[in-house]
Structure 1
């Protein structure tokens, strides 16, 4: 195994679904949708979506029991605080969820794993809403 701060939790969801490769595929499929979405794309100030994709992948890997690289590099996730500068409306949430649904469905996970991952992503997306529609 790699350095202690990058160890993967034994018997983790991360391992059960295929580790880093699965999360790379998830995030790549998700950002392929975001790249052409007229509502979401402007929320990403970087010209290249690569850095945002890396941050999301590292966060999800860590959350699900993978390497702790996200916290090692960026500290505590503080998701609501990090998203506060961007108006996350219900419509933006729904677009985010639509692209994420496509990405999750494309992974071919076992039904229980699919449901567990989707439940988390759906709850997380709802918790990020910080602005009314039309802002």
Structure 2
């Protein structure tokens, strides 16, 4: 069975998307303060392995960290509607950079827009 992960090019594609995303986050005045680590590398690794697993790739994320429990893991951080919009801006740019075929781009974008809305936990 071919997974969405396979269809989009597997690890190299997910790696390119996540790397482009974190280049945006690194200079973002709203998002960067939400990352307590000075080095974004560990966050990038977690996000990369999560997306790989989510789309049907290796289960490295769960093997290392257990169930994703995304809302719980993000609870310590104020994810505001403004932060969500910044997050989506960088993710859109990352998807544009890798230029997936339109149908796959739409499927990926649909997932991240819903996930981003789900993660909003503060209106301060």
Superposition TM-score, scaled by structure 1 size: 0.91
Over 3 Å off, 4+ runs: none
Check if 1:56 corresponds to 2:55: no
1:108 aligned onto 2:99: yes
Aligned to 1:95: 86
Count of residue pairs the alignment pairs up? 124
What corresponds to 1:13 in structure 2?
4
Does residue 43 (structure 1) correspond to residue 41 (structure 2)? The answer is: no
- Equivalent of residue 30 in structure 1, options 21, 26, 48: 21
1:79 aligns with 2:70: yes
Higher helix share: 2
- SS, match of residue 82 in structure 1: helix
**Partner Cα separation in structure 2 for residue 122 and residue 107 of structure 1:** 18
CA shift at 1:106, angstroms? 1.1
Structure 1 unaligned segments of length 5 or more: list them.
1-9
Q: Name the SS for the 2:99 alignment partner.
A: coil
Residue equivalent to 1:3? none
Q: TM-score, normalised by structure 2?
A: 0.99
Q: Counterparts of 2:19 and 2:105 in 1: how far apart (Å)?
A: 17
Cα RMSD (Å): 0.5
